[in-house]
Structure 1
Amino acid sequence: MLPRIICLAVGYVCGLFQTSYIYGKKSGIDIREHGSGNAGTTNALRTLGKKAGALTLLGDCLKCVLAVVLARLLFGGHQETDLLALELYAGAGCILGHNFPFYLKFKGGKGIAASVGLLLAFDIRIFPICAVLFFATFFLTHYVSLSSLLAYLGFLISVVVFGQMGMLDCTQPVLWEIYGLSAGLTALAYWRHRQNIVRLVHGNENKIYLGKKR
């Protein structure tokens, strides 16, 4: 249990690096007081432009990669059977730190960019599945929220399928733990997007166009 708590704590500390908030402060604004009020990639893109959006995506992605790598360095030598679970705990901690930073009164982002980093570091084979789901949905609908939610659902399904096919190289008890964590992260993403879901249902969700809208 202690290694799991350590990984959660390490991840949470990594997640406290709020890229969009720091970028916004350098530009003289608090990103949480503009646009959707969310300290994440989409709001940075809408409020501060493409450069801010790209840097936020990169920064939030890399901090989750760092969290997973630190877990691997700390426990990779003597916890091989549980290592994948420990990496996921670190990623989950990073997403929690991103979403609920204590020094910003627990008002952060929604964890999607950080989750991209988790995908890259946790199991690179799942990343293209989620990427295809995200971009196919985005270019068809231009809804970032819907694209993110479907990609997260793809993540959960892929983890379970990979695990049951023996592709994650874990014992069954560890697999159940990984499934539970993955389901918890997916539920958190849907909860953080609850207002977006309401707007999607009512047909008034904001769209994002990467180029000039025709």
Structure 2
Amino acid sequence: MWVRVGCLAIGYLFGLFQTSYIYGKAHGIDIRNYGSGNAGTTNMMRTLGTKAGLITFFGDCVKCMLAVGLVCLLFGKSHSEMLPLLKMYAAAGTILGHNFPFYLQFHGGKGIAATAGLVLSFDPIMSVLGIITFFGIFFTTHYVSLGSLLVYAGIMIEVLVLGQTGHFAMSQPLLCELYVVTAFLTVMAYWKHRGNIVRLLHGEERKTYLSSSKNKK
């Protein structure tokens, strides 16, 4: 039990590194007071440009990868039988820290860039499928929210399929726990995107482009 709590805590501490907030402050603004008010990649890209957005994405993605990497380093040998679960706890902690940073009155981002870190560090199969899904949707529709939501649906399905086919080499009780944590993250992502979902359904969602000039239209 305490190992799980420790992994969550490690992740949460890494998640507190709010790239968009720090970058925005360095440029004289609080990003939460601009655009959508979200402290994340998309709002940074629309507010301060493509460079700012890419830096934010990189920072938020890497912090999750570092948290997962540290957990592997600390518990990879002593708890090898449950390492995939511990990695998921570390990622969950990072996403929670990003979404709900205590020093910003729990007003952070939506956790998608941090989730990219989860996808890239959790399992190679999930990494490939996640990249294909997100960029396939983004470059065809230019809806970041839609790509993010479909990636999360993919994560849930992939974890279930890989788990039940023995890919993670864990016992069924540990697999069920892994499914619960993954389901929690998926539900939280959809809840954080509830406004985006409504706008998508009504055809009112704003598109995002890699070109700063197009984003300002």
Q: TM-score range by the shorter chain?
A: over 0.9
Instruction: Work out whether 1:148 is the aligned partner of 2:148.
Output: yes
Instruction: Work out whether 1:95 is the aligned partner of 2:95.
Output: yes
Instruction: Work out whether 1:23 is the aligned partner of 2:26.
Output: no
Equivalents in 2 of 1:175, 1:203: separation in Å?
38
The Cα of 1:14 is off from its aligned counterpart by 0.4
The Cα of 1:73 is off from its aligned counterpart by 1.7
The Cα of 1:210 is off from its aligned counterpart by 2.1
Which residue of the partner structure matches residue 199 of structure 1? 199
User: Matched residue of 1:204: which SS?
Assistant: coil
Equivalents in 2 of 1:116, 1:94: separation in Å?
11
Question: Which runs of 4 or more aligned residues in structure 1 lie more than 3 Å from their structure 2 counterparts after TM superposition?
Answer: none
Give the CA RMSD over aligned residues.
1.3
Which residue of the partner structure matches residue 130 of structure 1? 130
Aligned ranges for residues 106-117 of structure 1 at < 5 Å? 106-117=106-117
Instruction: Work out whether 1:184 is the aligned partner of 2:204.
Output: no
Equivalents in 2 of 1:156, 1:101: separation in Å?
25
Which residue of the partner structure matches residue 171 of structure 1? 171
Which residue of the partner structure matches residue 59 of structure 1? 59
% same residue = 60
User: Matched residue of 1:39: which SS?
Assistant: coil
User: Matched residue of 1:203: which SS?
Assistant: coil
The Cα of 1:124 is off from its aligned counterpart by 2.0
| Count of residues in correspondence between the two structures | 214
Equivalents in 2 of 1:142, 1:51: separation in Å?
18
Which residue of the partner structure matches residue 120 of structure 2? 120
TM-score with structure 1 length normalisation?
A: 0.97
The answer for unaligned runs of 5 or more in structure 1 is none
Please tell me whether the aligned partners of residues 16 and 98 of structure 2 are also in contact (alpha carbons under 8 angstroms): yes
Deviates more, 1:168-177 or 1:47-56: 168-177
Instruction: Work out whether 1:139 is the aligned partner of 2:132.
Output: no
The letter for the 1-side match of 2:124 is: I
